[in-house]
Amino acid sequence: MNSMIPTFCMQRLTALAIVLVVALSSAAWAGVTTITLKPTVRISGDEPITLGQLCTIEGDQGSVIESLELDGVLVEGKGGWLKLKTDELRSLLESNEAIHAGSVVINGLEVSVRRVGQQRSEIRSTAPMITAAREDAHQDGPVIRDHIERWVHDRYRIGEQLVRIRFRDSDAEFLNTATNGQLLEIKELSKRGRTAIRVMLMSEFQILAEKALILDVEIQREVLFARSMIRRGTVIDDSHVMSELRWVNPEERSATRAMALGMSVTKLVDSGEMLSEDHIEKPLVMRRGDLISAKSISGSIVVTVRGRARANARLGEVVEVESIDGETSFLARAIGEGRAMILKRGEEGTMQ
């Protein structure tokens, strides 16, 4: 009997402890405020942008948090978009004494924002070939056209250059379809001259809209023209070329001044002809027997190995690389001084 008393007491104490833990946890969770960032938002007018416009907020501190102004926190992104990232948002919350930042949970990594209205003209000035049909359409959220613009910037790795995109007029209604947080898939079909893509808007259970689109993409960048005929083997200097800003296809392999000056011409260039990368002799970036660094990229994983070049290689050329132990070899493309990118199976290239 005496041996049962401690066991009974321990059971009662354990049960009481569990009740207290649950009660305290419930009280703590009741004070949590959750911020869920929207992927993309379009805002009309020139009023200050507040956090409540860019997210959904649940919890006791919602009324204070939703009124926070963000104009000094947003950073410029590609294609006229502004971005708010989680780190900047967390810093903003912690700097406000009226907010208990420790009880705020943030869902999402970032939100992209675009103003419509007065600032729309600034965005269109970088893309004058884009039709104005979306000017009055779906101003309360992103449309398919917005996602395609962002895809174009990522696809062609467009940085500070101006870009313009032209769609077919018959696609205007589809392009102005609001996405409303649904899944959007963009698949490239072709990039020969004009970019062809297939766009599919999906909910969790069905395909909402689908269409193949053809668009013209151009970026503005410096291109070089021959002042007069340049013969093969001539070393280029300023007297041979002149530069102009031109709208060109992103796939156009036009030579830049930095690329051309001091290099030899590989073939005859007629007067007034635009210089392409094919006209310029590539610099020698590795020699036979050089110890080089070769990278292999798969998704977000990068593997670097060391090896020896089996031949001389110029920038962009494919070279055979032998492993340090001499047991294996592989093909890689020269991308810099003593550096190469390992070719995946099926990738084509001309060995030098």
**CATH number given to 284-342:** 2.30.30.760
User: Cα-flanking dihedrals φ and ψ of residue 244, to 5°?
Assistant: -145, 155
Which of 202, 205, 151, 140 minimizes the C-alpha distance to 176? 140
Q: For the chain, which residues make up each domain, given as ranges?
A: 23-116, 126-281, 284-342
pLDDT in tens, 237-282: 888 888 888 888 888 888 888 888 888 888 888 888 888 888 888 8
pLDDT in tens, 27-77: 444 478 888 888 777 776 667 888 888 888 888 888 888 888 887 778 876
- Topology of domain 126-281, per CATH? Type Iii Antifreeze Protein Isoform Hplc 12 (3.90.1210)
In the chain, the amino acid numbered 224 is L
- Topology of domain 23-116, per CATH? eubacterium ventriosum atcc fold (2.60.480)
Chain-centroid distance of CA 224 in Å reads: 28
| 307 pLDDT above the threshold of 90 | yes
Distance from C-alpha of 276 to C-alpha of 273, rounded to nearest angstrom: 9
pLDDT at 25: 46
